[in-house]
Amino acid sequence: MWWWRTRPIWGALQSLNTYRPNYLPLPTDDEGANPEALDEILRRNRVKLIYLIPNFQNPTGRTLTLERRWSIAKILVQHEALLVEDDPYGRLRYAGDGMPPIKSLAPDNVIYLSSFSKVLSPGFRLGWVVAPEEICQWLVIAKQGADLHTSALSQVIAAEYLAGGYFEAHLPAILDLYRRRQAAILSALHYQLSEVATWTRPEGGMFVWVTLPDDMDTEEIYWKAIESKVAFVPGRFFHIDGSGRNTTRLNFSNTDEHKLVDAIQRLANVIQSA
């Protein structure tokens, strides 16, 4: 994988980096982002934008609890702060109860984003925004400046797909697939890596976040795993400061159960020998 030597940061960080922001990391735990820490950051700093992935977060798979959603909504209103709520994974829930978007709890303080990439086709390059009217107007101008126009063909196909009820019919099939794949990877992790690693157990989405002992470096492990034909994303690429070296994101969405079990066994061999 030659490319991440030249592209060491991904996704949201990569697009935000263009504007050379001063990042202030928000601590998170198994319940998602920490509201008290957010309050503290907003008290001490002038923050232009807050960014959160509330459901089955990329990379950890964690979901923000309902209680914290309410707390964060109140904090946003109190500080007159603006949150980007990035929610491409929310519909991929295959266990437990769904939760309201923070957008519904603090409508004037949230720009809500979602995408067809995880539930229909990433190649369509289609997503949507729900934002306060004034911000929407600015977004339209900024988007025209960035790419002139989203493909009309993709939009028409997606619109027909939704209107024809095909999306709601398709969703249970992918949920069933991901549920089975996640069960396979979690059970393989349990049998192969319980002694050296801990990991998240999300109720949906595509990711499991694995933490190894502090002195292990998942980037080094990556190069050895590749020789065994297993790939993953080392955790440090999701951190703004290069930390998280002992963590890794495993994606189970595109590999069948047998291959997943085999892959975790191979990965466990590499980790044990490291």
Q: Which residue lies nearer to ligand PLP by CB, 155 or 187?
A: 155
Closest Cα partner for 102 from 43, 42, 201, 33? 33
Q: Which residue lies nearer to ligand PLP by CB, 63 or 192?
A: 63
Q: Which residue lies nearer to ligand PLP by CB, 98 or 122?
A: 122
Q: Least Å distance between CB 207 and ligand PLP?
A: 9
**Binding-site string for ligand PLP from residue 54 to residue 93, where x marks contact by CB under 6 A and - marks none:** ----x---------------------------x-x-----
The Cα–Cα gap between 94 and 172 comes to: 9
Q: Least Å distance between CB 114 and ligand PLP?
A: 8
Candidate list 7, 8, 11, 139; residue touching ligand PLP; CB under 6 A:
11
Q: Least Å distance between CB 75 and ligand PLP?
A: 21
Candidate list 115, 121, 255, 269; residue touching ligand PLP; CB under 6 A:
115
The Cα–Cα gap between 223 and 248 comes to: 13
Give residues with Cβ within 8 angstroms of 13, minimum separation 6: 238, 240
Of 31-39, 115-123, 225-233, 241-249, the segment contacting ligand PLP by CB under 6 A is 115-123
Closest Cα partner for 196 from 267, 263, 148, 125? 267
Residue for token digits 């720009």? Answer: 111
Three-class SS state of 54? coil
Candidate list 100, 122, 132, 164; residue touching ligand PLP; CB under 6 A:
122
Q: Which residues pair with 110 in a beta bridge?
A: 83
Contact at 8 Å (CB) between 70 and 216? no
Q: Least Å distance between CB 87 and ligand PLP?
A: 8
* Residues within window 34-53 making contact with ligand PLP, judged by CB under 6 A: 53
Q: DSSP class of residue 124?
A: G
The Cα–Cα gap between 96 and 99 comes to: 10
DSSP string computed for 198-262: EE---SBSSEEEEE--TT--HHHHHHHHHHTT---EEGGGG-TTS--TTEEEEE-TTS-HHHHHH
The Cα–Cα gap between 94 and 252 comes to: 14
Q: Least Å distance between CB 238 and ligand PLP?
A: 10
* Residues within window 124-183 making contact with ligand PLP, judged by CB under 6 A: 127
Q: Least Å distance between CB 12 and ligand PLP?
A: 6
How many of the chain's residues bind ligand PLP (CB under 6 A)? 10
Residue 263 in the binding site for ligand PLP (CB under 6 A): no
Of 18-26, 114-122, 141-149, 190-198, the segment contacting ligand PLP by CB under 6 A is 114-122
Binding stretches for ligand PLP (CB under 6 A)? 11-12, 53, 58, 86, 88, 115, 117, 122, 127
